[in-house]
Amino acid sequence: MHSLAAGAVEDLNVTVSGRGGPDTGLTGLDLVLDGNPDLYGAEEPAAHLRRFATLLDRLSRAEPDVPAGRIGYLDEAEHRRVLEELQAPGDETAGPAGAAEGVPAPGLTEGFAAQVRRTPQAPALRCGDAVVTYAELADRADRLAAVLRARGAGRGSLIAVALPRGEALLVALLAVASAGAAYVPLDPRYPADRLRHMLDDSRPLLLVTDRAHPWGGGLPLLTVAPDGTVPGSEPEAPGRAGGGDREVDGRVPSEAAHPGDPAYVMYTSGSTGRPKGVVVPRLALDNLIAAMGRLLDLSGEDRLLAVTTVSFDIAALELFVPLLGGATVVLAADDDVTDPFALAGLIRSTAPTVMQATPPSGGSSPTPTRTRWADCGRSAGASPCPPTWRTS
């Protein structure tokens, strides 16, 4: 089957339609799972439908206050098989890319700390002419996390981050995670009314930024330098978030952090009304990072070109996945991501091995010959992706 209204099926499409008519009203629902036959046999969609039916049955019988995440969707036979696979020995020294399917991988803060221990002097971030090692990035994030905790940041608190695309941006996001808080990413290039709404709606504890903004609404500011340091501030014990030598151990998460705690709050486009904040838990972010880490299989030889606005959640993939695989984040500056010619020059000068883009930017920028993975996300009716790019 091909759902023409939704475009060609690249992977799996789920369609739910009502059953009934004007006279009878809604009498039931039909669920159709539309799969790409080049990727799936008949057994796999059938298994997905069986799991979904199991989930619906358990939801209908569950107590109202039971979290949805605790309601399993595996039947007894499949549950036993998964437990047996989880008990199989694995490679404890490998990063997320080497983790077995289904085995819980380290979270962002734990995974980054482990990578800092493995390759402290390897390049973690390149932005313009600046190159920041894993140890340096961890040290700066440690120090900023200590300042955030001193200002009240911790489990359940929201920290707004409004910084240009540069070193400080990645430092701030890692610091918020290390402090146990959740970040609210604000792209300073967005319209002032939208930014003001995001702050009014989320009510963060403070705003990490490089300067005062007219849309800040009197929110307490924590001003950071371009490299992510806080001018005039020296925490009493820098590096303690790493549990030891900050030049080697990296960082560990706040003791109070929980997988169900918020990782970030991302606002929708607002195309159907006012933008709505979506709270993404740490476990969801960790699962995304682990899954993409296995898919991309990054190593110290890789450079991922990050071009997505921090106010779109694909930015988390671009900024965090490389750091758990020992690769380098090549962070495109604001001017680079808005100018196709500048972006093309950045691609030529940095020779990224991995990048992703939407059709407008992907179609107007050359695919570098040394890129081993170029991912192009598109929707139905969008411009076609370059033929050499992988479509998702």
Most confident stretch, 18-22, 253-257, 364-368, 385-389? 18-22
Say how far apart CA 382 and CA 359 lie, in whole Å.
7
Question: Does the predicted model carry a pTM greater than 0.85?
Answer: no
Helix pair angle (134-150, 108-118), 10° resolution: 140
Rg (the chain; Cα; Å): 22
User: Helix, strand or coil for residue 76?
Assistant: helix
- What is the arithmetic mean of pLDDT over 80-103? 53
At residue 110 the predicted structure's pLDDT band, cuts being 50, 70 and 90, is very high
**Contact (Cβ atoms closer than 8 angstroms) between residue 104 and residue 117:** no
pLDDT in tens, 127-178: 999 999 999 999 999 999 999 999 999 999 999 999 999 999 999 999 999 9
CB atoms within 10 A of CB 306: 28
Q: Which residue has the tokens 């050359």?
A: 366
pLDDT, position 103: 43
Burial of 271 (0-12, 13-18, 19+ CB in 10 A): exposed
- What is the arithmetic mean of pLDDT over 75-103? 59
- What is the arithmetic mean of pLDDT over 245-261? 56
At residue 225 the predicted structure's pLDDT band, cuts being 50, 70 and 90, is very high
pLDDT at 243 over 90: no
- What is the arithmetic mean of pLDDT over 331-349? 93
**Contact (Cβ atoms closer than 8 angstroms) between residue 3 and residue 9:** yes
Q: Which residue has the tokens 């996390």?
A: 145
Which amino acid, 81? R
Burial of 66 (0-12, 13-18, 19+ CB in 10 A): exposed
- What is the arithmetic mean of pLDDT over 361-380? 53
pLDDT at 105 over 70: no
Higher local confidence (pLDDT), 371 or 108: 108
**Contact (Cβ atoms closer than 8 angstroms) between residue 154 and residue 178:** no
Say how far apart CA 302 and CA 246 lie, in whole Å.
25
pLDDT at 253 over 60: no
- What is the arithmetic mean of pLDDT over 333-348? 93
Say how far apart CA 290 and CA 287 lie, in whole Å.
5
pLDDT, position 226: 96
Architecture of the 108-327 domain? 3-Layer(aba) Sandwich (3.40)
Higher local confidence (pLDDT), 39 or 271: 39
Higher local confidence (pLDDT), 34 or 369: 34
Which secondary structure element, helix H or strand E, spans residue 114, and what is its range? Answer: helix 108-118
- What is the arithmetic mean of pLDDT over 342-346? 93
At residue 91 the predicted structure's pLDDT band, cuts being 50, 70 and 90, is very low
